[in-house]
Amino acid sequence: MTVAITHEQYRNLVECFSESIPALLAGHPSTAELAIEVERMAIEDSLDARFTVAIVGQMKVGKSTLVNALLGRDLAPVGQTETTATINRFRHGAKSLQKRFRVHWRDGRSEDRPLADLARWTGNAENAVLTRELEFFVDSDFLERVDLVDTPGTRSVVDAHERAVLDFVAQDDPLARKQDQRTRTLEGRADAVIYLVRPWAGTPDEEVLSLFGEETRLLGASPYNSIALVQLWETLDGDPLVEAQRLCKIIAEELADKVAAAIPTSGLLARAVRLAPSAAWASLAHLARDCIKDDLDLLCAGEDFFTEHNPRLPLNVTQRQALLDTPGLDYTAIRFLLRLAHDNELADGRSLRDATWKASGMDRLLPLLKRRFFNHAEMIKASRILRKAWGACDKGYWKLLNSQRQREDDLDLGKKAIALAKEAALPPGTAEVVLAYMRRSLHAVQGDMAAIGERADRLYALKEEANESFRALEADIQAVAALDGLGPEILSNGERAELRRIFGVQGSEPHQRLGFTVDPGSREELIDAALELLERWTNRTWSGITDRTLPEHVCSRLYQILDHLEH
């Protein structure tokens, strides 16, 4: 069995799987109904759909603010009350499409509306109940490879909002299950989830995360397609960012089987970086730098204190009020920025803005999304789709085995019947006819039993081939994550970069894994490079680590590359 090396090979394997399974299942009466079920899944059509990342979390945790930060534009509705009432999908689109949004009604109709009408779909609006999805178009680099979906909040005060989230991430709506699968392929499903959580005590949405994992990941697979982000940490006591990072470690441990990573992010701060002009950053740095500690504490004690008359402050009341009225800034952001500038002695606006971007976590989130989702989008999408057919495959396999056991019982009965017929005193000529019929029937049972066994073996082999290739590609993702936890005393920068290439970060083609910018076109050259890497990593000592998973996967991957090249 050859393991898939590239994401394209894995895609082809899933396509082959989707074509072969219905034929195998349709070939026996006990599994024919399952063949129809798999065909209705429209697996190949789903493979060509856009990769979809859903933003999920409890109400008022900052989902829409984060979406706007990722898009670089204020498009997702935000507010002090529960605003997001529908599934909002953001797609890449030309500027000509950006002044309108598209409404997909539950009755199957679609129509375009001007953005000015958007308020009629927020909160508990009547239109929201009748809407399946809203679609927006944004000329954003982030959307060139994925669709981003903003969902209503869980723990919502509006029951329909909670149901919309479950229906989207896990297709949990019983009525939706009755619809023709071809009409909903990937339209109502997520390939990956960004789960937002508050930094204070509360119960995480384990139900949502569990349902998502069960519906999108193969049994026993790690949570490679979901990450957790801690939001709203800006007002925590002490050093808010340090406290948020501490909480992220706790959350990562608590949800280890449901999310791949947990990091602090702030859509609020990212939005400030994007919208606030240079003059505002200079004023904030000036205010933090040139006031005494007691005055700074007073400025951070509340919005009313921030706008009080104080002749000692370098900015007068009018100038401070102007900061509050600046696009991208509110008091929560200003309070944090003043502390950030003071504690880190940031003397100018440029330094403060750069530090704010780093504090927002966006400089870490975007590369993490690339490593976790975008670099492996084809594999994640194919695996989610493969998961759809997994249950039908298992049912079919066990139904075939059960049919085979029944035929074995028939075979035993046939042998006993022949023995009894031989012992019976049947009239001359009758015995020959009865025995001939019994032997032919027995032969047919034997043939049917063999055919069922072959069908079951083929079904099992197809599933195992897909599963083994998936496990190898999943191990790449886990290995890349493990590299982030190893310090320079264990791996040099050059070794780390080389391993990232072997694990497919620069591309999954063999030449890319082996460090070639372009395919040399010589199989011998690629084999020599793989053998050289294999010898080096086989003989390398790994002092300082006890878990041998990473070293073993390096060599395993190189052996698989060699096997691929030699065939």
pLDDT in tens, 305-323: 999 999 999 999 999 999 9
**pLDDT band at residue 289 using 50, 70 and 90 as cut-offs:** very high
- For the segment 519-539, what is each residue's pLDDT rounded down to a tens digit? 998 999 999 999 999 999 999
Average pLDDT over residues 47-51: 82
Q: Does the pLDDT of residue 159 top 50, yes or no? A: no
Distance of alpha carbon 367 from alpha carbon 551, whole angstroms: 24
Which one has a higher pLDDT value, 174 or 461? 461
Distance of alpha carbon 36 from alpha carbon 533, whole angstroms: 47
Helix, strand, or coil here: 192?
A: strand
- Given the structure tokens 């069995």, which residue do they identify? 1
Q: Where are the extended beta strands (E) located within 232-326?
A: 262-264
| 501 within 8 A of 514, measured Cβ to Cβ | yes
Residue of 487, 483, 268, 234 whose CA lies nearest to 362: 268
Distance of alpha carbon 371 from alpha carbon 377, whole angstroms: 10
In DSSP terms, which residues pair with 196 in a beta bridge?
57, 229
For 138, residues 6+ apart whose C-beta sits below 8 A from its C-beta are 71, 73, 75, 90, 91, 92, 93, 98
Q: Does the pLDDT of residue 82 top 80, yes or no? A: no
Distance of alpha carbon 403 from alpha carbon 25, whole angstroms: 13
- Per-residue pLDDT, 199: 82
Residue of 228, 244, 247 whose CA lies nearest to 236: 244
In DSSP terms, which residues pair with 226 in a beta bridge?
193
Distance of alpha carbon 506 from alpha carbon 497, whole angstroms: 10
Average pLDDT over residues 342-356: 94
Q: Does the pLDDT of residue 37 top 90, yes or no? A: no
Quick one: how many helices (H) and strands (E) in the chain? Answer: 23, 9
Choice among 136-140, 168-172, 406-410, 505-509 with the minimum mean pLDDT:
168-172
Average pLDDT over residues 438-466: 90
Torsion of CA 361, 363, 364, 367, to 10 degrees: 150
CA distances from 396 to 33, 308, 453 (A): 10, 74, 12
Compute φ and ψ for 340, nearest 5 degrees: -60, -45
Share of the chain above pLDDT 90, in %: 36
In DSSP terms, which residues pair with 110 in a beta bridge?
104
In DSSP terms, which residues pair with 55 in a beta bridge?
150, 194
Q: Does the pLDDT of residue 475 top 50, yes or no? A: yes
Distance of alpha carbon 385 from alpha carbon 477, whole angstroms: 18
| 74 within 8 A of 105, measured Cβ to Cβ | no
Could you tell me the pTM of the whole model? 0.78
Max mean pLDDT among 62-66, 155-159, 221-225, 350-354 falls in 350-354
**Chain-centre distance of CA 208, in angstroms?**
13
Distance of alpha carbon 284 from alpha carbon 291, whole angstroms: 11
Q: So where are the chain's domains?
A: 7-46+378-477, 270-360, 485-566
Helix, strand, or coil here: 514?
A: coil
| 252 within 8 A of 302, measured Cβ to Cβ | no
| 51 within 8 A of 92, measured Cβ to Cβ | no
| Segment 368-371 long-range contacts (CB within 8 Å, at least 24 positions apart) | 368/227, 368/261, 368/263, 369/53, 369/194, 369/227, 371/480, 371/481, 371/505
For 159, residues 6+ apart whose C-beta sits below 8 A from its C-beta are none
Q: Which two tokens stand for residue 467?
A: 């599963």
| Alpha-carbon dihedral sign for residues 438, 440, 443, 445 | negative
Q: Where are the extended beta strands (E) located within 33-99?
A: 51-57, 88-92
Distance of alpha carbon 267 from alpha carbon 362, whole angstroms: 8
Average pLDDT taken over every residue of the chain: 84
- Beta strand 192-197 with 51-57 is parallel
* Amino acid found at 310: N
